[in-house]
Structure 1
Amino acid sequence: MTYRTTVPALALALAGLVAHPAVAAAAVNPSPSPSPSPSTSTSTSTSTVAPSVQWKPCPSYSDEVARALGATTEAKLAAFRGLMKRLECGTVSVPLNHGDPAGRRIDIAVTRLAATDRARRLGAISILPGGPGGSGYLDAVLRVVPSNERMAGLNERYDLIGFDPRGVGYSTKVACVLPMGGPAEPGPLTKETARTLYDAQVAANQECAGSDPAFIGQLTTENVARDLDLVRAALGESRFNLLGFSWGTYLGMAYRSRYPGRTGRAFLDSVAPPVLNVEQHAEGYTEATERNFGRMAAWLAGHDGTYGLGATAREVREQVAKLIRAYDRSPRTYSDLQRPVDGSVVADLAARASVDWARAGKALAELRTATGATAPPTVKELIGAPMTRTPVPGMPELSNGTMNLATVCNEDSSRAGFDSAWSTYQQILRRYPVTGRAAPLPVLCSGWPLPVQRTTLRRSGGSLVLAGHLYEFMSPYEGVLRSWHAVGGTVYTVADDVHVSATRVAGCAADVARYFETGRIGKGCAGMPSPS
């Protein structure tokens, strides 16, 4: 899951654990029966009004927008255009407050990429986006079908359903001024500066929540799950199969907990922990990054001739810790970087997944001997992107910060006071001497004035696969096991450290596709290959 503003992508877990015994079980679920046409409503709605889809033309995107969305070659552009011609777009009206179905209503934007083999159709797969706050409107044409041949093959027998959760993209949304995180001055975070940051966050949170509390107070995972069930009913589906990513896994567990009889096969990748707690997430995320840095340090030591950071993992760790202290004592300002380079930047380079180890190692080596007024080239490449980019005209919203903040904070039970947040931060620095310096002060939801609304997760029957990445720190492995204890299912272990990679690696994607075709799943897959 992605916690924006003052807390980065966090999920409590422990990387490096051995595969859990639950991995051995195979999940089997009967194939869902063919569903009625989308114009057919159903009485299984949670609203007193039978839901329906208001179909409309899909948005038209320029080539510039298509390229910004990932269609970077002529072949990809042609494929994107072909999928957009097949895509159906519409909206479903749902209650803002599901406890008051006759009250204010909002629209949920929905897309469908219909199965190409209608005679052998198995049903519909709802794609659950990350975030919270991520858009899933175009996930079928941007994320699933283009991934590889096996994922594209899902669309032969399954309709692929995308949607924007309430508060995001083409769905009804609101915007508030979001708090700006990060210390004003480079170098170690002092208690005085931390207090200033805390006070600013509290004020911004109270202003945001108070700007439209009737709407913002209804931004929760549970409500998105209830919206999704109305979408299911509007499409005439007796049940939804689920393919969830990151926060979408939490949404998938919430949906399945609430509607077990309406849930078919569910594959959830990079599974979130079962409870949202910002303080726990801050420490758990940093613990996982520190552990994964041990793997990175060993790899760098094996390439000491290239990077010169040490011939053993211990020597590399000592060199990087020394570099953090040096840049905290004397931060550097470069004319071609927007942010100064201090110890937190060095720590951020050490908190990288394996796909970035080579570049991060080069950047760390450059910082050891850097001179001059401009940033070393790899340092600039990795941290020099502008904080804001000029938006491409007509670009759809891919992420909504207000929805992210509100959903996390409406459900967060910690809402730390200053003393608690400062204590947690100090513990992180002591326990994790390399990556801890990159951790933020865990005050994302401090002062959030709206009531805590916990999402309820339950065990139920049926088919469920929880994909955990053994060394990942975005959604670490321990969180997957905690969720398995909460909701059951089968743990599928991906032996890499790359967030939501299961559908992007051919061997893993073959398992995912086979699961949706047959209901059977193995123990796991290798995932993204580690650098040689």
Structure 2
Amino acid sequence: MPRNRVAIVLLATTMAALTAPALASASPASLDWKLCKDVAKGWEPADDQRTECAMVPVPVDYAQPEGRKIDIAVSRRKATDPARRRGVVLLNPGGPGQSGIHEPRWITDSKAAGIGVDHDLIGFDPRGVDYSADDVACPPLPGDDAEPPSSLPDKEKARFVFERDAKVNQRCVTADPEFVRNLTTENVARDMDRIREALGEAKIGFYGVSWGTALGAAYRTAFDSRVDRMLLDSVMSPTFDVGAMDDAMVAAGEITARDFAAWIARYDAVYHFGDRQPAVLEALLKLRDEHGETVTNHLAGPRREWANAAKALAALRDGGAPSTKPVAGQGRGFGWDVNPNGFNTFQQTAILCNASEGPRDFETIWQRRLERISAYPAIASPGFWNGRCAGWPLPVQPWKFTPGTSPLQLVGHTYEPVTPIGWAVAMRERIGGALLTIEDDHHGSLSSLPCASRAVEFFSTGKTDDGSCAGAPIPPPSGR
């Protein structure tokens, strides 16, 4: 799951890849490190020239380790105190589909920068993203974004979109079925172990956010003895179903919307929606019925944006224009010559749909959508992931996470709608570890808070934490 608001072969083959081929150990490679700015097209000009880049070859299919290969792009920032260096920490920002090669610089610029004092910080683009084999030959075609005729009833509009997306999914899988069926969380974890080998490290630390927490759980499941310390922030559910993910996210968003209405009621002198939560909620839902998704996005927005959201909603009520969201472009290329854009939507779809244990047929998905809208009327959302796996033709490879003994720190966020706190509790029950609770709703916020010091301490000492810490405060209301 990316960091936004409201911001996957048969079982026998999978199990074979989890055992002998995945665990086979090669001699450490001698990586050809170069300054990223000298080799990587489009590298960020703000980089201070500390970041080095290299490529690590991995098999496309770990069940056939001598078969087709791809290169995984890796970055490094060396420990700033070499005398205290105790190893490496691999970093993943989430997604899936999100680039991670810039993570070492971003962590260096965060409140968790202390991790890089005694550890090399290692970033990488997961397979299928930017510099790491972002080469599925599936360019968009006319009709891929076609909208249903406005005259159709709601169910037939949904069916139109489902069938449109199913054709795109099937075409993209057919373009390179071997590569696409091997776009899995477990294979990215195996790629991480090849990175470990190439670095010449017996063990690695890992810091993962959002989907990166599932990646960490997959690595620890397969390679527990090779984990030094692992921290997982904004934790995914240990079982995966895109429909269930929507259910949990919309339920959390419903709570946020009602809390937001209560907050606005406390500042009626500023926003004039009413001084009681029920009246404010009624007014907001009326506004939503008139303006749609623009209002819904504000209702489920994070607490740090409540003042701005309330101001925008009041302006919209009084005749202001709705805001629009930017649309990201697509970059293409190969290896260091890729045109990086930081994200690959189809890689995300493949990772998720290869793992999702939920239904893939239209009628079941439609019924779940109706139930979701009915159960959570303030948000009344069909779900962000609803229908993502339409027509997905490959067999399910479900996540099978298991407990380990290596040091594990989980981090959950009390009010967060993107990865609800219940997922962190469920993951702890499945794989173990300590759970630090942050009193905020900000996805993956640990590195931006003062209590990032606890992450630094964990990687330096191994001390885990079952306590809590404060998030950023809600800003005061802004005048109109």
Question: Pairwise mapping of residues 102-141 of structure 1 onto structure 2 (< 5 A)?
Answer: 102-141=66-105
Corresponding position of 2:183:
219
Identity over aligned pairs, percent: 35
Partner of 1:386: 326
Q: Which moved more, 1:180-189 or 1:272-281?
A: 180-189
1:468 aligned to 399, 409, 412, which one? 412
Partner of 2:11: none
Match of 1:276 in 2: 240
- CA 1:452–1:44 in structure 2 vs 1: closer, same or farther (change >3 Å)? closer
Q: Is the 8 A contact 1:93 1:107 kept in 2?
A: yes
The answer on whether the counterparts of 2:55 and 2:73 sit within 8 Å (CA) in structure 1 is yes
Whether 1:50 aligns to 2:27 is yes
Cα separation, 2, equivalents of 1:180 and 1:470: 38
Identify the residue that residue 358 of structure 1 maps to in structure 2.
307
Taking the TM superposition and a 5 Å limit, the aligned residue runs for 1:203-218 are 203-218=167-182
Question: Judging changes above 3 Å, is the alpha-carbon distance between structure 1 residues 318 and 417 closer, same or farther for their aligned structure 2 residues?
Answer: same
Deviation track 1:416-468 (CA, whole Å, cap 9, x = no partner) reads 31111111111121111121247357110021001111222001112111100
Distance 2:60 2:331 in 1: 30
Q: Is the 8 A contact 1:205 1:446 kept in 2?
A: yes
The residue identity in structure 1 corresponding to 2:79 is: A
* CA separation of 1:230 and 1:104: change in aligned 2, threshold 3 A: same
Structure 1 residue aligned with 2:269: 305
By how many angstroms is 1:147 displaced? 0.9
User: Within the alignment, does 1:228 sit opposite 2:172 as a pair?
Assistant: no
Could you tell me which of 460, 468, 473 is aligned with 1:517? 460
Distance 1:3 1:120 in 2: 32
Checking the alignment, whether the CA contact within 8 Å between 1:168 and 1:403 is kept in structure 2 is: yes
Residues 2 and 93, structure 2, Cα contact 8 Å, conserved in 1: no
Q: CA shift at 1:235, angstroms?
A: 0.4
Change (3 A) 1:54 1:462: closer
SS of alignment partner, residue 126 of structure 1: strand
TM-score, with normalisation over the residues of structure 2?
A: 0.88
C-alpha distance in 2 between matches for 1:313 and 1:299: 8
Residue 257 of structure 1 deviates from its aligned partner by 0.9
Q: Which amino acid aligns with 2:421?
A: Y
Matched to 1:520, the amino acid is K
Amino acid at match of 1:210: T
User: Aligned in 2, Cα 1:199/1:44: closer, same or farther, shift over 3 Å?
Assistant: closer
Amino acid at match of 1:194: A
Q: Which residue of structure 2 aligns with residue 93 of structure 1?
A: 57
- How far off is 1:58 after superposition? 3.2
- Could you list the per-position Cα deviations for residues 241-284 of structure 1 after superposition, in whole angstroms to 9, with x for gaps in the alignment? 11111111110011011111000111110001112201111111
How far 1:356 moved relative to its partner? 1.1
Query: Which whole-Å CA distance do the structure 2 matches of 1:483 and 1:191 have between them?
Result: 35
Aligned twin of 2:206: 242
Evaluate the alpha carbon distance shift between residue 251 and residue 189 of structure 1 in structure 2; reply closer, same or farther with a 3 A threshold.
farther
Residue equivalent to 2:399:
455
CA distance in 1, matches of 2:396, 2:316: 44
SS at match of 1:286: helix
Deviates more, 1:265-274 or 1:113-122: 113-122
Q: How many residues align?
A: 455
Q: Which residue does the alignment assign to 1:147?
A: 110
Q: Which residue of 2 aligns with 1:34?
A: none
One-letter amino acid of the structure 1 residue matched with residue 427 of structure 2: S
Describe how 1:306-455 pairs up with structure 2 within 5 A.
Answer: 306-325=270-289, 327=290, 342-370=291-319, 376=321, 379-380=322-323, 384-388=324-328, 396-437=340-381, 439-440=383-384, 442-455=386-399
Name the aligned partner's letter for residue 386 of structure 1: P
CA contact (8 A) 1:239 1:264 kept: yes
Evaluate the alpha carbon distance shift between residue 49 and residue 475 of structure 1 in structure 2; reply closer, same or farther with a 3 A threshold. Answer: same
Length-normalised TM-score, structure 1: 0.80
Query: Which contiguous aligned blocks of 4+ residues in structure 1 show a shift greater than 4 angstroms?
Result: 177-189, 388-395
Distance verdict in 2 for CA 1:443–1:45, change over 3 Å = closer
* Distance in 1 (alpha carbons) for counterparts of 2:135 and 2:331: 19
Compared CA separation, residues 3 and 154, structure 1 to 2 (3 A): closer
SS of 2:354's equivalent? Answer: helix
